[in-house]
A and B are shown apart, each in its own frame.
Chain A
Amino acid sequence: MKALAFALLGLRRFFRERTNLFFVVLMPFLMIFMMGLMFGGTSQVRLGVSGATGEPLAARLVASLGADDDVEVVRVGSRDDLVSRVERGELHAGLAIPAGYDTTLRAGGRVTLQQITRPGDIAGLTAGALIASVVPKEAAPIKAAGFAAAQGAGTFDETYRAALGSAVPGLDVKVTTTGEAVMPHGAAGFGIWAPPLLLLYTFMTALIAGVGTVENRRLGVTRRAYSTPTSAGSIVLGETLGKLVITLAQGLTVMLGSALLFGVDWGSPPGAAALVVAFILVGAGAATLLGSLMRTEAQAVSVAVILGLGLGGLGGTAVPLESFSDTMRTVAHVTPHAWAYDAFTRLVRHGAGLADILPTVALLTAAAIALFTLGAWHMHRALTR
């Protein structure tokens, strides 16, 4: 109850400060937005197609282009419109099919397709590669049908149907992965970067929140509170509880907001929530210890930033753990970030659930309890010696 009094007063004072409102409410959304711009959105290539509407051979070509899951084909009215939309970035690439596509091909003539992309656009190049692979496949039966018809084997339609129905052996390349893929199919962009950024940000916020504890000690409020019938444990718990709520709100806002606004997949919701709560508890525990050890706010802020960035960097939030050497990966696991990183990897990339990451959640919770206990003990010592 007394801890709650501390927590509620801390929250009231925190939210009364407008700059704090910015950092707690607006900052996470800005962060989500930035993440969304950097890593979010769809990985599908938007390919515009113009011309030859109603021509069966052209329709078949367009259908083949759209058969790939990674390509979204958008029909556009005219070539000029297609160029304009590619220029504006609405489409990654365009394919202009000339009028009379079917008639010319049926007559054994040559048709020139026009590919439109912006220079240096990676998605445009991807679309180009797709067009370069699909067009020859579509052209092969047309060429065969034209040849057969010219040899008197039947009409173009008959020979074309026959060509489509014939099974011509080809060369297939099949890729398989043995063991557990570090980056399974579909793992890309936000799904990889959002969890480490969340870990870096929330741990830093929790540590910075510990500065308030130092301020209360400097003001003498903590010692005065200890002169009342209030235990050191209640004071420490109360000091931490408010900050914990703030950091948790931030973390969960980032997760929920990024999922809703940018479709970020955080894996199993119970697993992700349990992991974030356990990780933030570690941050809050570290903040408690920091608040009991430091003498001035400036000292506490400096140490918080150094610790936040240092542990974050070592724990794989700046450079992915996968790129670390084996030795460095082992060393990295002295940080809570590395443990949480591994657990998030399993949740997000490999579809693990809460039960699968429970040992990590338990480990982080134990670390949090140890840090809280140490912080409370040192706070008591700092107050009474």
Chain B
Amino acid sequence: MPVLEVDNITKLYGESVAVDTLSFTIDQGETYGLLGPNGAGKTTAISMIVGVLDRDAGQVRVGGRPHSPADRRSKALIGYVPQDLALYHDISARENLRFFTKLYGMSRAAAAREIERVLEAVGLADRADDAVRTYSGGMARRLNIAIGLLHRPKLLILDEPTVGVDPQSRNAILASVRELAGEGVAILYTTHYMEEAERLCDRIGILDGGRLRAEGTRRELVGLVGEHDQVVFKVEGDPAHAVPVLEAAPGVGRVQRVEGEDGEVVAFVADARAAMTELMAAVAAGGVAVRSVEVREPDLEAVFLHLTGRALRD
């Protein structure tokens, strides 16, 4: 049974449709990314799913039970990390966390235990008693996430959690999310950073203008637009010698010698990682001396462009 079932949810603001019949599901331990540019309707969709915004149509089920803004039992299953730093800046991280443990109805002992756990998890244990206003942007973001993890939710919803964060903190946040998914938490992750969605998500939904344009694994999405992985060989000597060798290798669609590049030959394959062993065996058997190999996978930017006719960052 999916942890989250979103069925045709719709939000209207007057004549404007902010979210249009959005549907998807997330299983336990799965990370689902909602990818879309700013204004695509990601935050509106998230707000309806979390239960802080009324829907105009559609259903949401969390842990198998119907979910609505008034349903406190299903809210207890959700951890929500909003895009804004929704915390008090004039008190410490520990005080912020303690406040939210009370809202989750946790006992004093459980609260103390979970506060220490999440502080460790986000790397803020040594600054736990400092006022949040003294934190860097990245530290405040990590605290923002820690609040969502306090009650060990079954479903964690993160709305653009890495906006305005330095690379180090961003990596730490992504690592934490992967770890949580590994522990079985279902994760809904919205972002407009293509690389994050590719690195993190098992499945991705591409949202634009409030509508889900496509959904699937990165490979499935890329497949939708007929793109292939590229394995780029830099070879010693005449690259023309390498072309027939690679063309004969199993799984290779076509081979292209790159003009202007010194000794560079590109093999187009459906799945570079799967084909790599056989490709390397083929070039070795064909007597091609390889200086380096690089895998270039088609990215979601190309998919988004194909689906919407514009770039993701427009």
Chain A residues within 8 Å of B, Cβ to Cβ: 1-2, 5, 9, 12-13, 16-17, 219-221, 223-231, 383-385
Contact = CB atoms under 8 A, between A and B. Distances in A.
B177 to A, nearest CB: 18
12 contacts: A5-B99, A9-B99, A12-B95, A16-B90, A17-B90, A220-B85, A225-B100, A227-B80, A228-B75, A229-B103, A230-B103, A231-B70
Interface stretch (B19-27, B51-59, B193-201, B254-262): B51-59
A214 to B, nearest CB: 15
A225 B103 contact: yes
Contact of A219 (B88, B100, B102): B88
Contacts of A230: 72, 103
Given A225-B103, A384-B54, A220 B76 contact: no
B88 A226 contact: no
Contact of B75 (A220, A221, A229, A383): A229
B86 interface: yes
Contacts of A224: 80, 82, 86-87, 147
A227 B52 contact: yes
B75 A227 contact: yes
A13 B95 CA distance: 10
Contact of B52 (A5, A9, A229, A383): A383
A5 B87 contact: no
A13 B90 contact: yes
A229 B50 CA distance: 11
Contacts of B104: 228-229
Q: In terms of DSSP, what is the predominant structure of the interface of chain A? A: helix
A229 B73 contact: yes
A227 B51 contact: yes
B162 to A, nearest CB: 17
B21 to A, nearest CB: 20
A273 B262 CA distance: 92
Contact of B105 (A2, A226, A227, A384): A2
Contact of B86 (A16, A17, A223, A385): A223
Contacts of B89: 219
B144 to A, nearest CB: 9
A385 B54 CA distance: 6
A271 B161 CA distance: 55
Contact of B76 (A9, A219, A229, A384): A229
Given A13-B91, A223-B82, 12 more contacts: A221-B86, A221-B88, A224-B80, A224-B86, A224-B147, A225-B103, A226-B69, A229-B75, A229-B103, A229-B105, A384-B52, A384-B53
B294 interface: no
A208 to B, nearest CB: 18
A384 B103 contact: no
Most A-side CB within 10 Å, residue of B89, B90, B103, B104: B103
Given A227-B52, A229-B72, A1 B88 contact: no
B179 interface: no
A18 B85 CA distance: 25
Contacts of B95: 9, 12
B120 interface: no
A174 B112 CA distance: 77
B129 to A, nearest CB: 14
B103 A219 contact: no
B283 to A, nearest CB: 55
Contacts of B50: 227
Contacts of A13: 88, 90-91
B72 A385 contact: no
Nearest to B91: A13
A102 to B, nearest CB: 78
Contact of B53 (A12, A17, A220, A385): A385
Contacts of A5: 99, 102-103
B278 interface: no
- Which residue of A220, A227, A385 has the most chain B CB atoms within 10 A of its CB atom? A227
Nearest to A380: B69
Contacts of A226: 51-52, 69
A384 B69 CA distance: 8
A221 B103 CA distance: 12
B74 to A, nearest CB: 9
A225 B102 CA distance: 10
B220 interface: no
A217 B83 CA distance: 14
A13 B72 CA distance: 27
A223 B72 contact: no
B99 A219 contact: no
A16 to B, nearest CB: 7
B84 interface: yes
A231 B89 CA distance: 24
A224 B90 CA distance: 17
B181 interface: no
B78 interface: yes
A383 B52 CA distance: 7
Interface string B40-66: 000000000011111000000000000
B91 A12 contact: yes
A225 B70 CA distance: 13
Contacts of B87: 219, 221, 224
5 cross-chain pairs, A with B, having the tightest CB-CB distances, nearest first = A220-B86, A5-B102, A229-B72, A224-B86, A220-B84
A2 B78 CA distance: 18
Interface string B254-292: 000000000000000000000000000000000000000
Contacts of A225: 100, 103
A225 B80 CA distance: 10
Interface in B96-143: 99-100, 102-105
B91 A2 contact: no
A16 B89 CA distance: 13
A228 to B, nearest CB: 4
Contacts of B51: 226-227
A336 to B, nearest CB: 32
Contacts of B82: 220, 223-224, 227
